[in-house]
Amino acid sequence: DIVMTQSPDSLAVSLGERATINCKSSQSVFYTSNNKEYLAWYQQKPGQAPKLLIYWASTRYPGVPDRFSGSGSGTDFTLTISGLQAEDVALYYCQQYYSTPRTFGGGTKVEIK
Cβ of residue 1: shortest distance to another protein, in angstroms? 9
Minimum CB distance to another protein smaller for 16 or for 100: 100
Residue 51 CB-density burial (10 A; 0-12 exposed, 13-18 middle, 19+ buried): middle
Minimum CB distance to another protein smaller for 83 or for 107: 107
Minimum CB distance to another protein smaller for 42 or for 68: 42
Radius of gyration of the chain (CA): 13
C-alpha to C-alpha distances, 35 to 1, 29, 56, nearest whole angstrom? 22, 10, 10
Residues 42-101 that bind another protein (CB under 8 A): 42, 49-52, 55, 61, 93, 95, 97-101
Is residue 105 at the binding interface for another protein, with CB under 8 A as the rule?
A: yes
